[in-house]
Structure 1
Amino acid sequence: MTISHLLSARAARNVHVVRATRSAKLSAVVLAAAAAVLAALPFLVFSTVTDTLINLFVLIALASMWNLLAGFGGLVSVGQQAYIGIGAYSLVALADLGVQPYLAVPLAALTCAVFALPTSWLAFRLRGDYFAVGTWVIAEVYRLLVVRVDSLGGASGKSLSGLSGIDATLRGALTYWIALALALATIAGCYLLLRGRLGLSLMAVRDEETAAASAGIDVRRAKLLVYLVSAAGCGAAGGVITLSSLSVNPDSIFSVQWSAYMIFIVVIGGIGFIEGPLIGALIFFALQQLLADFGSWYLVLLGVVGIVAALRLPRGLWGLVPGPSLFPIGYLVRRSDGPA
C-alpha cells in the first residue's frame, strides 16, 4: 500500500456523516417545548385567543402542504381549494351519517386522497402553467358538482351536525387541539417524507424531470405520492375549518383565495424550506390581525408585500437566515477534528 493510500484511509476514518447539528437538536427541543405550551393554552387563556390561533394552525397546515407539492415536488397548483372543499363537505356528510365530527377529520382526509387519485390522472396530463390553470378549473368543477347536490345544502351551504350536545367551551378546546395536531402533523409529515428516498426523488423531479427519469426515478410515482399527501392534508384542514365555523358554504370553501393565501405564505417564508410555511404563516397572520380594519387597503398592502418579497427575496425570509436548518433533511460531512 502506498503512502497516499494510507493517508486516504486515515482521512476516511476521521470523517463521519451526520443528519443534524447540535444547534438543530437544540432547536428541536425548543420547538417541542413550544408545542407543549401551545397545547396547554386552553387552560391558560380565554377562548377568544385559542379561537384566533385555530386560523393560524390551519394556515400553517395548508402552506406546508402547498410547499411540499410545489416547493419540493415542482407541482405548482392553484387548485388545492378543491380538497379543502371536499374535506369540509366530507366532514358534514359523515356527521349526518352519525360519525362524531372530531373523529371524522382523518376520514375526511382519506376521502380527499381517494378523490385525488382519479383527479391526478387528469391533472398530470398537463405541464407547467397548464397544470396550474388546470387545477384551478378542476376545483371549480368540484364546486359546481357540490352545488347541485341538494343533500349537501346546494348553493346556500349546510350546517354541521353532531356537536350540539358538547359544551361550547369544551368544543372550542377540542377544535383548538385538533387544529394544533394538524399543524404539527403536517410539519412532521413533510420532514419525515423529505428525509427519505422520496424526498431525494421529489427534489430531482423538481429540478429536472427528464434527468430524474433517466437516473431511474419513478417520476409518476413520486409526483402521485406527494399529490395524494397534499390533498389529504388540505382535506383535513377543510374539516378543521368546518369544525371551527360549524357550517360550510361552497363559494367560500372552494374559493381560490385559499390558494392565494398558501402561495403568499410560502413565497414570504421561503419556498423549498420546511421552515418557510412557519415563518410565512406567522407574518401573514400578524398582517391579518394588524390590517384587517383597513378594508380593501388590507388586500392592497398584502399584494405589495407579496410583490416586494417575490422581487427582492426569491428564497423568502428563511433563505436569509444563516446557519443550519431547523429541520435538516440533507447530510453533513464532518471530520473528527472539526468541520469538513
Structure 2
Amino acid sequence: MTLSETLTSRAAAAVDVSRAARSSKLSALVMLAAAVTLGALPFLVFAKVTDTLVNLFVLIALASMWNLLAGFGGLVSVGQQAYIGIGAYSVIAFADQGVQPYLAVLLAAVTCAVFAVPTSWLAFRLRGDYFAVGTWVIAEVYRLLVVRVDSLGGASGKSLSGLSGIDQTLRGALTYWIALGLALASVAAGYLLLRGRLGLSLMAVRDEETAASSVGIDVRRAKRLVYLVSAAGCGAAGGVITVSSLSVNPDAIFSVQWSAYMIFIVVIGGIGFIEGPLLGAVVFFALQQLLSDYGSWYLVLLGAVGMAAALWLPRGLWGVVRDRTGLSLFPVGYFVRTRAADVDSH
C-alpha cells in the first residue's frame, strides 16, 4: 500500500458520514413521545382543549404544505386556498352521497390532487410575481364556480351530513385524531420527499432553474409533483376544517386569509426548514389565543410581528436556533462526524 493510500484509509476511518447527528436521533425519540402524548390527550383533558388543538394541527399541515411548495420548490403561491375550498366542498359532496365524512377527508385529498393537474398546466405558464397573482386568481375562479352549484348550497354554503348519529364526545375525539394524523403526515411527507433525489432536484430548481435544467433535472416534473402534494395536503386540511365546523361557507373557505396565515407562519418559523412551520404555527397559534380579544388590534399586532420577523429574522426563528446550536430535527442532508465535532455537510 502506498503512502497516499494509507493516509486516505486512515482519514476515511476517522470520518463517519450519516443522515442524522446524535442530537437528531435524540430529538426523534422526544418527538415520538410527544406524538404519543398528543394522541392520548382526548383521554386526559377536556374536549374544549382538543377542539382548540384541531386548529393548531390544521395550521401546521397548511404551513408545511406551503413551505414545501415555496421554501423548497420556489413556487410562491397565494392561492392555496383554492384547494382548501375544494377539499372542504369535496367532503360535503361525498357525505351527501353516503360516504362517511372522515373517510371523505382522504378522498378530498385525492380530489384536490386531480384538480391540481390541469390547474398546474395553466399556473406553470406564469413566473415569479405573475405566478403568485395567477394562483390567487385561480382560487377566485374556483370560488365563483362553487357558488353557482345549487347542490353545494350556493353563496350561503352548506352543512355537513353524516355525523349526526355519532356521539358528540366520540366525534370530537375522532376529529382531533384525524387532525393530528394530518399534521404528522404533512411533516412526514415533506421529510421523506426531501430526503430523496426529488429534494435535491427541488432545491436546485429553487436556487437556479436554468442551471438545474442544464444538468438534467426535469424541472417541470419536479414542480408539478410538489404542487400536487401541496394541493392534496391543503385539500385534506379543508376536509378537517369541514368535519370540525360541520358546515362550509364559500367566502370563508376560499378566503385569501388562509394563504396569509400560511405565509405568516412560515416567515416567522423559518422558510426552507421542515421545522419552521412547526415552530411558526405554535407561535402564531399562541398569538391568536392571546390577542384575539383585542379586536382590530389583533391584526395590527400580527402584522407588526410579521414585518419585524421579515426585517430582523430573515431565516425565521428556527434559522436562529439552527445557526446557534446546529440542531436539526429533520435532517435531509448528510452529517460528517469526526472526533472533534459533528459538522453538517449541507
The bucket for the TM-score relative to the shorter chain is: over 0.9
Aligned to 1:329: 332
Q: Give the TM-score, by structure 2 length.
A: 0.96
Deviation at 1:6, TM superposition (A): 2.4
Aligned to 1:253: 253
Q: Do the aligned residues in 1 keep the contact of 2:175 with 2:243 (CA within 8 Å)?
A: yes
Aligned to 1:135: 135
Q: Do the aligned residues in 1 keep the contact of 2:21 with 2:342 (CA within 8 Å)?
A: no
Q: Which amino acid aligns with 1:327?
A: F
Q: Which amino acid aligns with 2:39?
A: A
CA distance in 2 between partners of 1:95 and 1:111 (Å): 14
List aligned pairs for 1:1-340, cutoff 5 A.
2-321=2-321, 322-335=325-338, 339=342
Q: Do the aligned residues in 2 keep the contact of 1:58 with 1:183 (CA within 8 Å)?
A: yes
Deviation readout 1:119-140 (Å, 9 max, x if unpaired): 0000000000000000000000
CA distance in 2 between partners of 1:337 and 1:189 (Å): 34
Deviation readout 1:186-205 (Å, 9 max, x if unpaired): 00111111000000000000
| Unmatched 5+ stretches in structure 1 | none
Q: Which amino acid aligns with 2:20?
A: A
Quick check: 317-326 or 57-66, which moved more? 317-326
CA distance in 2 between partners of 1:235 and 1:206 (Å): 24
Deviation readout 1:62-121 (Å, 9 max, x if unpaired): 000000000000000000000000000000000000000001111000000000000000
Q: Which amino acid aligns with 1:220?
A: R
RMSD: 1.1
| Unmatched 5+ stretches in structure 2 | none
Moved over 6 A (4+): none
Q: Give SS of 1:78's match.
A: coil
* Aligned length, in residue pairs: 340
Percent sequence identity is: 83
Deviation at 1:59, TM superposition (A): 0.2
CA distance in 2 between partners of 1:237 and 1:338 (Å): 41
Q: Give SS of 2:316's match.
A: coil
Q: Give SS of 1:125's match.
A: coil
